[in-house]
Structure 1
Amino acid sequence: MSDFEDNLKKAEGYLARFKRDGVLNRIGGQDVASADGSTFESISSVDLKPLATVARGKAADIDRAAKAAKEAFPAWAALPGEARKKLLHKISDLIVARAEEIAFVECMDTGQSLKFMSKAALRGAENFRFFADRAPEARDGKVLRAPGQLNMTTRAPIGPVGIITPWNTPFMLSTWKIAPALAAGCTVVHKPAEFSPLTARLLIEIAEEAGLPPGVLNLVNGMGEDAGRALTEHPDIKAIGFVGESRTGSMIMKQGADTLKRVHFELGGKNPVIVFADADLDRAADAAVFMIYSLNGERCTSSSRLLVEESIYDAFTAKVAERANRIKVGHPLDPQTVIGPLVHPVHEQKVLSYFEIGVAEGATLAAGGRKIDGPGGGPYVAPTLFTNVRNDMRIAQEEIFGPVLSAIPFKDEAEALAIANDVQYGLTGYLWTADVTRAFRFTDALQAGMIWVNSENVRHLPTPFGGVKNSGIGRDGGDWSFDFYMETKNIAFATAPANIQKLGG
């Protein structure tokens, strides 16, 4: 039996429970159907066949979950940080123990290849370990002295929070939000994306097996227009952490306005990778290819615009096209596959539409640009490269969220910077140059929340993660996460008699 055949057999075993039992909501430590009994089907990205019947939560289900989170909050918030640390480490250990199951389920639910999903579950475990270690110091603040006064700051968890996560790498991104919330002492209502709901169920099972008290983490599946809206409007939910489209983020902000909801958004991107002629061009080409074609191009930090200095433009884009044409598209559980099927036919239609748009705008298809007949008949598309692109074209301005790269030439540093900044987004940027002074100048002026110089996206968990402009609000990572999930309080102690004005004496 080949590795691929063995993977298929294992995946069938892992998915059997979902096909048999479906996916219920999990509220207050109990499995519950939706209040009105409604459901929806989660389909496989590979063959579009049903994977599970999922409870479709709505406002009544969100209300029940929010009340469970509110009831569980005082005890969880009062738990010593060391106790939360121990419990979150146990969650991490159990994630590692079930990493293969998580990866295989996610491959079939999202279409992402095992090449990347095998590491995503382990990254989720690292997220829990990282924030677990910081739980004991989450409430720590500063001592600030003033004449005749000593100020002490402290932090306290904000309360029950809502977490809304996307369909791309859903398990890892859920841990990225949920782990710091739990470490801070918040309780959580989690609404995963309807396209890929299965691993959210695995996460809450793991958390409760580790000893997480009932109601601390609650799971409600459903659609954005009903469950998502109810969560963002609920008065018991004090904050919303959201990862997804910029347009949806804007809607969430409006919906949460009446309850003065605190929001943290990780939104879309149209991220540039800027390559100067003095760069290590082979490494730059490898990085550009990796950052757009890994994870099916369905990632907010993908480098979807390739800006190349004119003198090397033709040779460099030829390198990228050659690499793109060699990428294997296939079944996500095949160990050799790099690009699997897109998450859903609805998303496939969006991506395919941009192939037509790009050609109509006058760009040249240097690689891909077509649908592929992949195993199972799912929504497979070829890794695509457009050349002769202008930055005012839609393929250079709009987030496609697929394996589609638009290559734009530039004359000099000033033009490269102008092109890089001339989009509504500002999540990441990637700069390739051997000129250190240029790197300092360019990164200082580049409008992005995160920039990598002579590197692909290599995350260091203590650093801030987030974007500017339409790419988001706020930062995750390190202490920045605790700033979102906690309120800061200042207490001022008089150390000498103050001159108090006498009124009415």
Structure 2
Amino acid sequence: MSESAPVLTDSVASANRQRALGHLAPYVSEPLGHFIEGQPTSGAGGEPFDVLDPSTGETLGQVLGGMAQDVDAAAAAAKRAFPEWSRTSGEKRRKILHSIADAIEQRADEIAVVESLDTGQPLRFMSKAALRGAENFRFFADRAPDAQDGLALPTSDHLNYTMRQPIGPVGVITPWNTPFMLSTWKIAPALAAGCTVVHKPAEWSPYSARLLVEIAHRAGLPAGVFNSVNGLGEGAGRALTEHPDIKAIGFVGESSTGSAIMSQGAATLKRVHFELGGKNPVVVFDDADLDRALDAVVFMIYSLNGQRCTSSSRLLVQDSIHDEFVDRVAERVERLRVGDPLDPQTEVGPLIHPRHLDKVMGYMQVARGEGARIRSGGARHDCSPKGYFVQPTLFTGAHAQMRIAREEIFGPVLTVIPFATEEDAIAKANDVEYGLAGYVWTGDAGRAHRVAQAIEAGMVWVNSENVRHLPTPFGGMKSSGIGRDGGDYSFDFYMETKNIAIGLGQHKIPKLGA
């Protein structure tokens, strides 16, 4: 069993918990509503639902379920604000977005403890997530002045030039695993492009999203440019994806939900950008630096409680080193510190919600039924009687056709599959419906390029864990998504490209009826 960090008893963790509860106090005295046209509002007064503390199972507060009327109000506010915001100079948008980044940095500690309490993610990761959010705003702020720039494409008869223009009000739907950072990752480029936004945060982790929209407006964002509507997917989410005034939907979440959103937006020909599920392989060849590969393998599945879209949840190990390498992984898994996410020493916290806990625990029985071995973990963790804790789990004796090797579990669960040759590794890496990310560990430069190019994934890291460089494209293939985030790739989604052709007065125009 993994080592336990005491839950709700450690003095540092308890102090952090009290600070987080203090920051949440203004938002839990009554059901949390929405933020529309620069103001908090209870809107149409939808049915409230509970937000749970993943560490204890207790209720943190309640949130009003947004209704179609609330989405209508937010969309109308975004539509009214769009003409002025879209005409605001890139230099002024850059200044405002930098002010938002400054405010995020000033409140990074508050954001981190609130999000750690709200999501169950260990504080050691959430402190960095808040700063990453500020970095996202700074990065796209600096690109705002050039967002509309295009190309000069002259011919002998015409001067063609392209330019980009913001598409209009957009909807952003974000997940519960690292909600603050992922919200900034979508919203910052939309604002930099000149779009207005209606945001629907994940219902299981709404509080840091409220902090973000309030921070943005206090930093100088005009009313109506950024609106937030809480609620469930089948209510507020569907109303947003079907709304005729919302020109595009950026969504991060499950592949099945992405498919539903695409269908819901079809009637209004809505542009969609999806970052969806993954069953990402990490391929370890026998010529790799095995010490570094070990660190990366463990980090990329057990950090963020395994609730990471780019987690390397399938470990493909060359058979010549399989037993020795898996022994080393198992040893590390057994030593992971599981406990209160607000304890800075905790490495793995609780899962987000009892429904998700049931899903992840269900795969323990699936593994047994398929004949895999549960080498480590496989049960609830005993560090909290009512929290949603799972022992970090390692499945061995698996093959590529098992459900545990094909389906996204989205928890601290790693499935090991042996392979024999380079061709075998590529075939097994690609033998899933997903194609978000891949990781390759090898000392052979030629093999590194061959395998990385052959893996069917939108992103491949070689001899590295997931290290993001913000100008690069981020997104997946197959059932893992549509479109790319990052750099100008984000502007390709939030903006329309227009071509303007100027006749130079020399070309022959055909005559009819002359």
* Paired letter, 2:27: F
- Residue 4 of structure 2 is matched in structure 1 by none
Query: Which residue, 28, 31, 41 being the options, matches 1:32?
Result: 41
1:399 aligns with 2:408: yes
Report the equivalent of 1:70.
79
Q: Take 1:369 and 1:389, find their aligned partners in 2: how far apart are those partners?
A: 15
Corresponding position: 1:119 with 2:128: yes
Q: CA deviation at 1:228?
A: 0.6
Q: How does 1:121-136 map to 2 (within 5 A)?
A: 121-136=130-145
- State the partner residue of 1:87: 96
> Match for 1:26: what amino acid?
F
**Cα root mean square deviation, aligned:** 1.0
- 2:294 is aligned to 285
| Residue-by-residue CA offset, 1:122-168 (whole Å, 9 max, x unaligned) | 00000000000000000011101112211110111000000000010
Asked whether the 8 Å contact 1:11–1:105 carries over to 2, the reply is yes
Displacement of 1:64 in angstroms is: 0.9
Aligned-residue offset at 1:373: 1.9
CA distance in 2, matches of 1:37, 1:158: 30
Alignment-mate amino acid for residue 89 of structure 1: H
CA distance in 1: counterparts of 2:21 and 2:185, whole angstroms: 28
Aligned pairs, how many?
A: 505
1:359 Cα deviation (Å)? 1.2
Please tell me whether residue 168 in structure 1 is matched to residue 177 in structure 2.
Answer: yes
- Matched to 2:422, the amino acid is E
Partners of 1:412 and 1:347 lie apart in 2 by: 36
> Pick from 268, 277, 302: which aligns with 2:277?
268
CA offset digits 1:316-372 (Å, max 9, x no partner): 011111001100000000111011110000000000000110111011111111101
The one-letter code of the counterpart of 2:426 is: L
Matches of 1:423 and 1:408 in 2, distance apart? 13
Aligned-partner SS, 1:299: coil
- Check if 1:17 corresponds to 2:26: yes
For 1:213, the equivalent position in structure 2 comes to 222
Give the match for residue 145 of structure 1: 154
Give 1:376 shift. Answer: 6.1
**Is the counterpart of residue 202 in structure 1 residue 231 in structure 2?**
no
Please tell me whether residue 474 in structure 1 is matched to residue 483 in structure 2: yes
State how far apart, in whole Å, the 2-side matches of 1:36 and 1:198 are: 18
Return 5+ residue gaps in structure 2 as ranges.
1-9
Residue-by-residue CA offset, 1:32-53 (whole Å, 9 max, x unaligned):
1141442111111111222122
Distance 2:32 2:155 in 1: 57
SS at match of 1:311: coil
Structure 1 residue aligned with 2:334: 325
Q: Which residue of 11, 15, 23 maps to 1:6? A: 15
- Corresponding letter in the other structure for 1:375: S
Name the CA distance, whole Å, in 1 between partners of 2:504 and 2:142: 35
Aligned equivalent of 1:486, options 487, 495, 509: 495
The one of 415, 418, 431 aligned to 2:424: 415
Equivalent residue, structure 2, for 1:363: 372
Matched AA of 1:17: P
| Conservation of the 8 A alpha-carbon contact between 1:34 and 1:56 | no
CA distance in 2, matches of 1:386, 1:31: 47
Q: Any idea what SS the aligned residue of 2:337 has?
A: coil
Measured in 1, the distance between the counterparts of 2:258 and 2:58 equals 30
| Alpha-carbon displacement from aligned partner over 1:159-207 (angstroms, at most 9, x marks no partner) | 0000000010000000000000000000000001101011110001100
Give 1:30 shift: 2.1
Aligned to 1:48: 57
Structure 2 residue matching 1:329: 3-state secondary structure = strand
Q: Assess if the C-alpha contact under 8 Å between 1:43 and 1:52 holds in 2.
A: yes
SS in 2 for 1:142: coil
Could you tell me whether the CA contact under 8 Å between 1:390 and 1:408 is conserved in 2?
yes
Displacement of 1:13: 1.4
- Which secondary structure does the structure 2 equivalent of 1:156 belong to? strand
1:385 to 381, 385, 394: 394
CA distance in 2, matches of 1:362, 1:375: 30
Paired residue for 1:456?
A: 465
Contact conserved, 1:369 with 1:382, CA < 8 A, in 2? yes
* Residues 86, 132 of structure 1: 8 Å contact kept: yes
**Offset at residue 274 of structure 1 (A):** 0.1
1:9 and 1:260 mapped to 2: Cα distance? Answer: 47
Q: Residue 258 of structure 1: which of 267, 272, 278 is its match? A: 267
Is 1:339 the counterpart of 2:364? The answer is no
**Aligned partners of 1:224, 1:359: CA distance in 2, in Å?**
33
Which residue, 240, 255, 263 being the options, matches 2:249? 240
Give 1:75 shift.
0.5
Quick check: 191-200 or 487-496, which moved more?
A: 487-496
1:499 and 2:487 matched: no
Alpha-carbon separation, structure 1, partners of 2:149 and 2:360:
47
Percent of counterpart pairs with the same letter?
65
- In structure 2, the residue matched to 1:435 is 444
> For the Cα contact (< 8 Å) 2:46–2:67, is it kept in 1?
no
Relative to the length of structure 1, the TM-score reads 0.99
Q: Is the contact between residue 18 and residue 51 of structure 1 (CA under 8 Å) also seen in structure 2?
A: no
- 1:77-96 residue CA offsets vs partner (Å, 9 max, x unmatched): 01000000000000000001
- Write the distance in 1 (CA, Å) between the matches of 2:283 and 2:416: 10
Shift of the alpha carbon at 1:22?
3.6
Measure, in 1, the Cα distance between the counterparts of 2:102 and 2:61: 27
1:121, 1:9 → 2: CA distance? Answer: 19
**Is this contact kept in 1: 2:17–2:117, CA < 8 A?**
no
Distance 1:12 1:52 in 2: 11
Name the aligned partner's letter for residue 378 of structure 2.
G
**DSSP-derived class of the 2:339 partner:** coil
> What is the CA–CA distance in structure 2 between the aligned matches of 1:381 and 1:106, rounded to whole Å?
20
TM-score where L is the length of structure 2: 0.97
Give the equivalent residue in structure 2 for 1:307.
Answer: 316
Distance 1:191 1:65 in 2: 10
Kept in 2, the 8 Å contact 1:46–1:376? The answer is: no
State the alpha-carbon separation in 1 of the partners of residues 54 and 438 from structure 2: 30
Cα pair 1:274 1:307 within 8 Å, conserved:
yes
